[in-house]
């Protein structure tokens, strides 16, 4: 098992932030003058669903472990899964 350092976590966080920044800039560019709406909810939904799916897969489908890894209460995770239509 490879132990990750603080620098590894910071680099990954920076990589994620960079990706979000790039995609958001492209989103606004692609609007081509149209007014954006509900951007916050759109971004959260598009980040939250794959994040939860990947964590659940990583935890072998164990919702208790996934909730712990995400820093959520298990009931909160189940509610998010229901809202996001994650089986």
* Confidence class for position 27, pLDDT limits 50, 70, 90: very high
Q: What is the pLDDT of residue 1?
A: 60
Residues 73 and 79: beta-carbon distance below 8 Å: no
| Ranges of each domain in the chain | 1-36, 38-87
Mean per-residue pLDDT of the chain:
91
Q: Contact, 66 vs 59, CB < 8 A?
A: yes
Task: Judge whether residue 71 has pLDDT over 70.
Answer: yes
Q: What is the pTM of this model?
A: 0.75
What's the mean pLDDT in 56-74?
98
Of 56, 31, 57, 48, nearest to 83 by C-alpha is: 48
Residue 66 CA to residue 69 CA, distance in Å, equals 5
User: Regarding predicted confidence, which is higher, 5 or 51?
Assistant: 51
What's the CATH fold of domain 38-87? Arc Repressor Mutant, subunit A (1.10.10)
- The helix/strand/coil state of 44 is helix
Residues 6+ apart with CB under 8 A from 34: none
């Amino acid at each position: 098992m490879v132990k990750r350092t603080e620098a590894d976590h910071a680099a990954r966080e920076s990589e994620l932030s960079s990706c979000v920044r790039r995609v958001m800039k492209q989103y606004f560019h692609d609007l081509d003058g149209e007014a954006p709406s509900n951007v916050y909810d759109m971004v959260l939904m598009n980040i939250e669903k794959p994040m939860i799916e990947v964590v659940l897969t990583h935890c072998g489908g164990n919702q208790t472990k996934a909730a712990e890894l995400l820093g959520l209460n298990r009931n909160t995770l189940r509610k998010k899964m229901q809202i996001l239509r994650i089986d």
